[in-house]
Amino acid sequence: MPTMPTVELHLHLEGTLEPELILALAERNRVDLPYADPEDLRSRYEFTDLQSFLDLYNANLDVLRTGEDFHDLTAAYLARAATAGVRHAEVFLDLQSHTGRGLRPEEVLDGVTAALDTSRERGLTSGLIVTLMRHLPPEGAVEAVRQVLDSGAEVLGIGMCSTELVRHARDFAPAFGLARAHGLRLTSHAGEEGPPQHVADVLDILHVERVDHGVRAMEDPALVERLAADQVPLTVCPLSNVRLGVFPSLGEHPLRRMLDAGLLVTVNSDDPAYFGGYVDENFRQVTAALDLSADHLRTLARNAVEAAWVDDARRAELR
Ligand code: ES4
Ligand code: ZN
């Protein structure tokens, strides 16, 4: 029995929107959708790159209209995570994608945190990370951080996602600086579709503590040396990388080489409703494809616990 990870650190709540839930929410909110049934929708989940995925991912957000919808989305994810053996999850929320459609930040944040609180009472701890959208104007990112701070909602950190091929990390320095000044933890997507330099940029300019994806860092030996020396956690998502064409197959995924280079890598699911599996499935498939050893698996499990933003007492429990 391989050691399964019990900590999930790279998961977009919106990416857990399963076709069945999309159709149920559409009916509840009287949203007209062009899909006949869940299978019809699922058959469109063939992506050529990150942007082709983001287009469908963003279009499907239209069914999320109320705080209750965000509660139900989060509760459904947490129930699925518990069956995967997850004991601690740090989850991303694209707040700007919802306020941009006219929702109030408090309504979205309260819906999500209510579900996280209920699950915490049952032993699954969590943290909420609001992800700033790199494709939107940076002024909106500052506004989103202000909304998080003003809401009083329990938010653990700030991240950044969406396409990496527009704007420079420095454009988001004001938003990340504001978050840092208020004690929020920091992470960012980088080195997924963008070059290794993007990984260095988010570390040097935004002062992030973790990097989401970071797989293309492997193209730069000096950067690999730095990431290994500093033990910067990289939240890797194998099934996502293959579905979005970052690597041609799981067998060609660099995860094993990253482990062997001494990088602090973790295995995560990204957008499991779209990419073919939750964290347990990512673990199973990558273990088989790369013939990972018991030692590799133990290291992956330990890395996730060490990279989690939890206090010492919870870290000791998770070990
Ligand atoms: C994402 Cl795979 C990926 N990359 C960047 N941003 C994202 N948002 C949701 N999934
Ligand atoms: Zn992601």
Q: Which two tokens stand for residue 103?
A: 């929702």
Is the C-beta atom of 212 inside 6 A of ligand 1?
A: no
Q: Is 295 annotated as a binding residue?
A: no
Q: Is 270 annotated as a binding residue?
A: yes
Ligand nearest to the CA of 135: 1
The mean pLDDT value for 107-134 works out to: 97
Angle at 310 between CA 307 and CA 312, to 5 degrees: 100
d(CA 157, CA 180): 9
Its ipTM equals: 0.96
Question: Sheet holding 7-12: strands in order across?
Answer: 7-12, 88-93, 125-133, 157-161, 185-190, 210-213, 233-236, 264-267
- pLDDT tens-digit series, residues 285-294: 999 999 999 9
Site to probe by mutation for ligand 1, drawn from 48, 161, 192 as the one with most ligand atoms within 8 Å of Cβ, is 161
> Dihedral sign, CA of 62, 236, 276, 284?
negative
Q: Which residues are CB-contacts of 174 (< 8 A; sequence separation ≥ 6)? A: 138, 141, 142
- pLDDT tens-digit series, residues 218-235: 999 999 999 999 999 999
**259 C-alpha to ligand 1 centroid (Å):** 23
Q: Which residues are catalytic?
A: 192
CA distances to 90, 190, 208, 232, 307 from 203, in Å = 20, 10, 5, 9, 15
Contact 172, 160 (CB under 8 A): yes
Domains of the chain, earliest start first: 7-307 (3.20.20.140)
The mean pLDDT value for 144-163 works out to: 98
Confidence of residue 1 (pLDDT cuts 50, 70, 90): very low
Nearest CA to ligand 1 atom 1: 162
Q: Is 12 annotated as a binding residue?
A: yes
Is 3's pLDDT higher than 80?
no
Q: How many residues make up the chain in this entry?
A: 319
Is the C-beta atom of 162 inside 6 A of ligand 1?
A: yes
Confidence of residue 5 (pLDDT cuts 50, 70, 90): confident
Q: Phi, psi at residue 249, to the nearest 5°?
A: -155, 165
